[in-house]
Structures are given as structure tokens and as C-alpha cells.
Amino acid sequence: MDPSNRDIQQGKVSRDDPQYLNFPNSKPGSGLNKFSSTLTREHDFPAAQAMLYAAGVPNEHQLKNYPQVGVASVWWEGNPCNMHLLDIGKAVKAAVQKQEMLAWQYNTIGVSDGITMGGEGMRFSLQSREIIADSIETVTCAQFHDACITIAGCDKNMPGVVMGMARHNRPSLMIYGGSIKPGYSKLLEKPINIATALEAHGAYIYNNLSNPNNPSQGKEELIGEIEKQSCPGQGACGGMYTANTMATAIETMGLSVPGSSSNPADSPNKMREAQKAAECIKICMEKDIKPRDCLTKAAFEDALVMMMALGGSTNGVLHLLAMAGTAGVELTLDDFQKASDKIPFLADMAPSGRYLMVDLFEVGGIPSVQKFLIAAGLMHGSGITVTGKTLKENVDNWPSLKQDQLIVHGLDNPIKKTGHIEILYGNLAPGGAVAKITGKEGMRFQGKARVFNKEHELDDALNKGEIPHGENLVLVVRYEGPKGGPGMPEQLKASAAIMGAKLTNVALITDGRYSGASHGFIVGHIVPEAAVGGPIGIVQDGDVITIDAANHVISMDVSDEEIKRRQQAWKPPRMEVTRGVLAKYARLVGDASHGAMTDLF
């Protein structure tokens, strides 16, 4: 049995122990094909060699001497984030073969967060990260691949493939599928995107949806056009939402070629990455650069700097914790708070700002931002990357951010002097909670609790217009954590509806999580979650809740004695899901403050 990540973190076993790497019986060779040669040298595995010939190996020379590279795409047709990844994979395969290597394409699953948002399908989203990681680890180790190139598009794809790569720890890199272009509404005469569609729903329900260019425009026609025009083609959601947050973090940690996270999905640059990826994977094999060589504590610290400067998604906390745990790197909620305390929020990007990733690409892209932050002394830039160079070396010759650009503010003119991620503790969240506070909503909110035991209960109340303007309310959505959901679903439908309805008197807290497109006064990832007896499970309607981001506190105005009395009377609810993948996930998953991992015990 493999040692656990906790054993690795505590130093009980080496991260390079063959038992941990899942091939204790392997007898690797010394060339670039050191893993695949287990099957291809001499005639130890004639059946394996016969099947490899059948799969397309043209001759004995290539079989015996060429390394084998897995090309893993998270491709499927039903999601714009992923629909083009198979084509990128084909280009990668061709480029790898030109490098005198064998390339084997395969696939893993994806879940569209945008399509499942607000429905029962969203419960399957977070656990898909584990399936993706399992798939990458499984195929790489089972098939004795020497290296791995992954191609990811939607939110859980990126952390999933990196977790898989960190597990097998063979030379690997990730290509990001890139961002979608903004849509355009002829009726509104302005660019729109997926967040427009989500927030339009709240405006539609509360009769706030109108066209300033044509006040007589019917709301049915307007929302219909928004639905049709928000997503014009391939690519992931364009703001600094979860997909772009994770892509920029992973590029910053050195596991993508420079520019991958900001090259648009339909740009020539994106397809050119195939050739660069093939060159880099060979460099990694020649220099024995492995994922965990890139995934160091300093690299994670640089990723946190990027996340804070650009206003990244709260999901970045969850995924970076899981990636670090998988790589055996000690990363905690406190590291996020330390980064937020010292790194200014600089980028005027959606969801709270005006610009999208395609706009940032036009003024230099992520490498230009990295160059700026390294020069400012905010980022190490010293970590090794898949190019064989350090991050600083990668961006030294990259163009600086354009002088007249308005997207990334200077250090003397930040949007907020500190970061937007706040880690909160208190009698409501003794194990921690994650807030996204840009400062536009203020730093403190107090209101009376209105409790919902599932997200759909709040959605129903919003659909009926039952959440009023006026008195300050803290909407509490519980039993939506990793175990209680199960699956810790995103609650963008509710948060976007609140923004669209202009319910500025409302804050929203949950033991579930939010989309990267969420904004407003929101707190998620409350630990312990309600399903395991956390205090959020005993909040009652009318309890006064205070969210104090300046002092990192989330609390309810309930005495310790009353909390103890309520907890003694609390009974765990019956699990609605008792079999299948969600039931298995609920049994295995850890809490959100440790990344909601399934392989850390």
C-alpha cells in the first residue's frame, strides 16, 4: 500500500520512494525511455510489445529506443471550455512525434460548471477533480509512460491534472485550453459574458432587467439575447474566474510554457504551444525535471502572489491546498492570509472589474504580469520550470506591460492596498472560512440570519422574490459542504441572482463554495461543515451574524452556553446519497480547509 501524503509531509517516507511512485516492481532503464523500457527491452513482455505494434508503433527501433509520452486531454464536446482540446491534443501528438518520441493520446472526464450551476449536476463537479487526477495517475503508471502532457480547460481540470502529475511525478506539463472571447449584445450595445447571463437571472426575477438603450424592450427578448450571445465559441470563462485563476497559478509554478494561461483559446498562439510543449517535455526528460521539482513552497508562494494581485477565485484556495497536499508541500489557510495581507489587489478584471483575460493578453499577458511582480520584489521567480529555466529567466526577455494599459494598476495606485481573500475564524467557523472581499462592499457586515438547509431552498426563495430589500440579512446556506452536499457545489446561481437583484442589504455564507464569477459580500468553505456537526448547523433564523474582514472574524451573537446546548440537541441529517460516486466521495473526502482531498488521511 502506498504511504499517505501525511507520511511524506512528516518525513516518515521519501517522496521519491518507489512505493509512493506506484511502480515497486519496475526496472527502469537509463535513457529517456526509462519507464517504457520496462515493457520494450528485450523480450520480457512479448504480449505488451505485440499490442504496442498493433497500436501503431512502426518498427523495432522506435519500440526499443523511443520514449513514450502520454497526451491526456480533458476533452468533451458539450462544453465550450473543453470542446477544442482534442484538436490541441492532436497537434501535441504530431509535435511530440517530430521530437523522436512516441505519443499516446487518451482522455479523461470533465464537468461543465456553467451548465450544472444551480442544479443537482453541480454536486458532481468538485469530485470530478479527483477522477481526473486518478485517470492521469492510472494511465501513466499502468502504461509505463515516460512523460505526460495534459491539456485542460474548465475549472476542476487544471488542479485535477496537476494532482495526477504530482502523484506519478514523471516529467510532465500542462497546456491550458485558453479563454473564450467576450460575447456582444446588440440590444445592450456592449460586450457580455457568462457572468452577464447569470446576473441577468436575478434582475429578471426581481424585474430589474431592462435595456437602457430601449426602456420599452421586453425582458424576455433581452434575456433571450443574453443567453444566445454570452458565449460566442470555444474557451473557458473569460474573467479572473476559477479556470483562469488556476491556469495563471500553474503557469507561475512552472508547469506550463510561458503565456499558456493568457493565450486565447482560438488564437494562433494557442496552437503554437503544441510545438513548444513537445520541446519542453523533452527538456524535462533530459534534465529529469519532474512536477514536484516545480511544486515547491516558494512556487506556491509565487502562485499566491499572482492570485492576490489578479483578484483570483476563492476556489483557488481549495485547489492550491489540494495540489500542495498531493505534492507533499505544507500549505495552510494562514499562508493565504499572509499573502493577502502584503500583496495589493491590482487587476481591474471581472467579476468585480471591467476586463477579461483576452484584454490582458493584448497588453502583454501573464508573463508580463510575472515580470512586473518579480521586478517589484513581490515574487521569487527563482523556481525551475518546464522550459529548464527559472520563471525569472523565462520572462526576462518578455515585453513589459504596455505603458498605457488600464488593466493592471501600479503599486502606487492599487484597487485595494491588500488582497481580496480573507481567511476568517470565529464561533461560526473554528476551522476557518474563506471570504472574497474586494473592498467595494465594505469590510464589515452585520445582519440577522435567514437559514436554508440546501442551496435549492434559497434559489426557490429568490425565484419567488421572497428575499426583501431593506433590513440587513445574512443568508445561511448549509449542508452543502464536501460531505454534506455531497460534493460542495458552487452557489453562483444564488450569488449572481443577489447581485442582479441589487440586494445590497444581503450577505451570503455557506459551508459550500462559490464560483470564481461570484462577487459581493460572500463567505464560503466554512469548517467544520454542518454535516459533521459544525456550528453553522445550529444557526437559527434571527441570530445576529457579524462578518468582520478587517479582523478576520465571522461570528454569531450566541453565547457559548447556548451553542453547547444547541449542539447537544443537534442530530445529523439522513444522507440523501447512499451509493454511487457521490456516496464514495462523501466517505473519503476531507474538509475544505485542507483542500477537500480524498487521499490525505
Distance between CA 146 and CA 11 in Å, rounded? 27
- How much of the chain is in helix, strand and coil states, percent to nearest 5? 40, 15, 45
- Cα–Cα distance between 480 and 494 in angstroms, integer? 13
Catalytic-labelled residue, pool 128, 260, 313, 515: 515
CA 287/CA 386 separation, integer angstroms:
10
Q: The cell 498605457 sits on which residue?
A: 404
User: 196 and 109 in contact (C-beta within 8 Å)?
Assistant: no
Q: Which has the closest alpha carbon to 117: 586, 494, 501, 598?
A: 494
Residue pair 475/467 in contact by the 8 Å Cβ criterion: yes
Dihedral angle sign, alpha carbons of residues 20, 22, 25, 27: negative
**Cβ atoms of 443 and 437 closer than 8 Å:** yes
Which amino acid type is present at position 460? Answer: D
Cell numbers for 476 = 445561511
DSSP track, 102-128: EEEEEE-----HHHHTTSGGGGGHHHH
Beta bridge partners of 450: 475
Residue with cell 487518451: 106
**Whether the Cβ atoms of residue 534 and residue 511 lie closer than 8 Å to each other:** yes
- Asked if 456 contacts 485 with a C-beta cutoff of 8 angstroms, the reply is no
Active site residue 515: yes
- Residue 149's DSSP bridge partners are 71, 173
Cell of 284: 524535462
Cell numbers placing 24? 515497486
Give dist(CA 307, CA 310) in Å, integer. Answer: 5
Residues known to be catalytic: 515
